[in-house]
Amino acid sequence: MYDHSKREVAERRIWRQTKTPVRVSPFDNRITAFLYSLNESLPTHCSTCTEKQTFAHLAGFWTVFRHSFAAMGIKGLSKLLGDNAPRCIKDKDLKALSGRKIAIDASMCIYQLLVGVRMGADNFTNDSGMNTSHIIGLFYRSIKLLELGIKPVYVFDGKPPPMKGGELRKRAELKAANIESHKKAQEAGDTEAMEKFSRRINTITPEMTDACKNLLRFMGIPVVEAPCEAEAQCAEMCKAGLVYATASEDMDSLTFGTTRLLRHLWAGTSSTAAKKGIKPAEYSLSVALEDLDMDMAKFIDMCMLCGCDYLDGIRGLGPVTALKLMREHGSMGDVLQVIKGNGKYTMPDEYPHDEARKLFCSPEVLSAKEIKLKWTGPDGEKLTNFLVKEHNFDESKVQSGIKRLEEARKATNQVRIDQFFKPKAAPNAGKLAAKRKAMIAEKGKKGKGKKAVSTPISKKARK
């Protein structure tokens, strides 16, 4: 079980370093999981630091995480599910995923690697000055997954949908402000401020993306280039049965309809994370809908009310209120009528929820028939040329990695025994579901106006 006393100490120390309050939900240990996940793929970046310096690096990572990831996906959905549908969230040991195919949001993975190195030291670069930290990190992370018997497929973003322009503009404005602050700090000779703002201006360039695609193909790992959003493409592959789950930190993967979402995947590849009890979390969409007593249409509407990349938020309306209003009124149209007549909430000038709903319900994706997934052995010669000659990595370490890849391929070729059987629903599953819904409804009536208390289920979910 996670040591919450240590977590509280960490929160206070991060506050002193960054002046940012950190409250990590037991259901959403995003910060902790990310910090520990860096340990395995970049094991030496803090090896010479004192404990105080190392924690300063971790605090710096939280600063980048807060500015870069906090606004992505559905705001507050993870905690909302943890509080109201805890059965849908389960800790997942990556060994249990052996033989499974996992669709990974590539852009999120690359960004984590860029931030992970920059927080502790200078970025790795080749002779031409190109940043290569994402390349070496992706190389070793992918090897680790293959050694666990997992078959990864990396899905890359295409063009952003037009409606995401507003969110992208906000991020661009924030980045421009950070670049300007970095320049001022540089002119003033303020090294501490320079380091702080340099963490906030990481950019994934087309050259970086192309390099990662080449690396993965040389490793024998399939790459899918989505026409639009990677999360939507992962969800399509998951719904079609091409993959077992989507691996991403973006909660809107569930809104796109992925049947299973794996968060904190890389925490499962880290020995340090395992010692601390931090594990990947698997979210089940079907269980979430059942426990929330919603169909998919209501769930999408609730997610849009929580706040998403396609719509400006409604001031005064958070995830808890969004869930309450959807349960009371049942549709987005009725909820908006209530909001417009209530002074507590401030609607944005434009709120094209119908268009946003279409993006979630009918996103631009490749159909399952258009995607062919094939895992092959590594091309040792191309990998050596790419990593050693083009990017100046140590040849002995690269050859060691190639050997690990060849051995790992044997593990990924094994077939899971459950692939020979079809799962059968429990005979009393319907009765149990009805009983749970009745208990939730009864609890809502009794607890109306009172402070929520923990239940045995929620305590179990925290472990």
Residue with the bigger pLDDT between 279 and 70: it is: 279
Bridge pairing between strands 223-225 and 101-105: unpaired
Average pLDDT over residues 20-49: 42
The model's pTM:
0.72
Residue type, 460: K
243: left (phi over 0), alpha (psi -120 to 50) or beta: beta
**Each residue's pLDDT tens digit, 358-415:** 999 999 999 999 999 999 999 999 999 999 999 989 999 999 999 999 999 876 666 5
pLDDT recorded at residue 313: 84
Q: Please say whether the beta carbons of 60 and 199 come within 8 A.
A: yes
pLDDT recorded at residue 440: 64
Phi/psi at 406 (nearest 5 deg)?
A: -65, -40
**Each residue's pLDDT tens digit, 415-433:** 555 555 555 555 665 566 6
CATH code linked to domain 4-292+411-447: 3.40.50.1010
Q: Which DSSP category does 125 fall into?
A: B
Cα 58 to its chain centre, rounded Å, is 18
Mean pLDDT of the chain: 75
Distance (Å, whole) CA 195 – CA 443: 50
pLDDT recorded at residue 222: 97
Give the position of tokens 């930290």.
133
Residue with the bigger pLDDT between 349 and 5: it is: 349
> In the structure encoding, which two tokens stand for residue 246, read together?
């989507």
Question: Where are the chain's structural domains?
Answer: 4-292+411-447
Residue 312: pLDDT band with limits 50, 70, 90: confident
Residue with the bigger pLDDT between 24 and 148: it is: 148
Q: Which DSSP category does 420 fall into?
A: G
pLDDT recorded at residue 117: 52
Bridge pairing between strands 281-284 and 89-91: antiparallel
Closest CA to 69 of 265, 230, 200: 200
Closest CA to 268 of 259, 258, 278: 278
**Each residue's pLDDT tens digit, 202-219:** 567 888 899 999 999 999
Average pLDDT over residues 331-347: 88
124 has pLDDT over 60: yes
Q: Please say whether the beta carbons of 361 and 300 come within 8 A.
A: yes
**Each residue's pLDDT tens digit, 136-159:** 899 999 999 999 999 999 999 998
Q: Please say whether the beta carbons of 350 and 165 come within 8 A.
A: no
Bridge pairing between strands 281-284 and 101-105: unpaired
